[in-house]
Amino acid sequence: MRAETDDGSQLLKTMGEKALEAQEEGRGLVRTRLTSALPVGDDPGVHVRGEVR
Task: State pLDDT tens for residues 1-53.
Answer: 566 666 667 777 777 787 778 778 876 666 666 665 555 556 555 556 666 66
pTM value is 0.43
Q: How many domains does the chain have?
A: 1
Written as one letter, the residue type at 38 is: L
- pLDDT for res 45: 56
Please tell me whether the peptide bond between 39 and the residue prior to it is cis, using omega within 30 degrees of 0: yes
Can you say how many angstroms the Cα of residue 22 is from the centroid of all Cα atoms in its chain? Answer: 14
- pLDDT for res 37: 57
- pLDDT for res 20: 78
Whole-angstrom distance, CA of residue 49 vs CA of residue 47 = 7
Which residues form the domain of 17?
A: 2-52
The partner residues of 2 in beta bridges, in order of sequence, read: 51
- pLDDT for res 3: 64
